[in-house]
A and B are shown apart, each in its own frame.
Chain A
Amino acid sequence: VSDPGDDGAAPEIAEEIMTGFRHTPRGVSARFTAAEAGIVRSLVGQVAELVGGPGAAEEPQDPGGREGAGETADGPLPDDLAAMLGSFGPAAPPEDPVLARLLPDAYGDDADAAGEFRRYTEPGLRSGKVAAAQTVLATLPAAGGRVRLSDGDAEAWLRSLNDVRLALGVVLRITEDYEHESGGLDPADPRQAYLHVYDFLTYLQETLVRALR
């Protein structure tokens, strides 16, 4: 997620407020303008690349086209062992504050236990977040329009929207008192435009939760 001070181009959201997600007999559904779809896709893609590395926001390729895991058989390690070693993550928490919030320490007062936990769980946590982001990108057309989600897709949307809100929350320094303070932000503050985006994502998330009940 880029710093809001990076450039002057603030994202725009149509004045006309979208209706958010609704329950329909064929799954939850919402209509997006192209601008709204563009904002969601851009932020979801940025979080995916932050968590999963460059290329993580690209839609998964046809599995048939991938290099098979078995093709590394002439390496020094047997496939399954190499895969096992490769599946361990780092022990240290990310330095980037956004990543540190998305991949938090599980032990606040025990760095060794936190490191051990992270080595085993972080790769799966990262791949789950990337997969959720890819589901959003695959189900939200860049041109906008009507989006209809299965229950599984809707859960991925909830996870992904939440990740983007957490990421934006760190960048914008939003705390639990946000709702009480937001009226007082200087209109010239560059964070102002992104607060509208944050509110928009909150609205999407809230209507999606309600539509699923």
Chain B
Amino acid sequence: MLDVHHKGRAVVSSGTRESMERDAEVLHGYGLWATVSHDR
């Protein structure tokens, strides 16, 4: 989580698109700017 402090962002979760969207929705509820992206 120190990545958030030093780089301004961090990967906090990975998995299927559906479960990532669910996590992002929860994090938005806490005011955290979560985004979903696809690893290439």
Chain A residues near B (Cβ < 8 Å): 101-109, 113, 117, 121, 124-125, 128-129, 159, 162-163, 166, 176
5 pairs of residues in contact across A and B, judged by CB atoms under 8 Å: A105-B35, A108-B37, A117-B21, A125-B25, A159-B31
Top 3 nearest A-B pairs (CB, nearest first) are A162-B31, A104-B33, A106-B24
Q: How many chain B residues touch A (Cβ–Cβ < 8 Å)? A: 13
Query: Total A-B residue pairs with C-beta atoms closer than 8 Å?
Result: 43
| Pairwise interchain contact B31-A106, C-beta atoms closer than 8 A | no
Which residues of B lie under 8 Å from residue A117 when comparing CB positions? 21, 24-25, 36
- In Å, the complex CA distance between A124 and B21 comes to 14
Q: Which listed residue (B21, B31, B35, B36) contacts A102, Cβ 8 A?
A: B31
The contact of A107 among B29, B31, B36, by CB within 8 Å, is: B36
Contact partners of A108 in chain B: CB under 8 A: 35, 37
Which residue from B25, B33, B37 sits with its C-beta under 8 Å from A121? B25
Contact indicator B31/A121 (Cβ below 8 Å): no
Contacts of B25 in A (CB 8 A): 106, 117, 121, 124-125
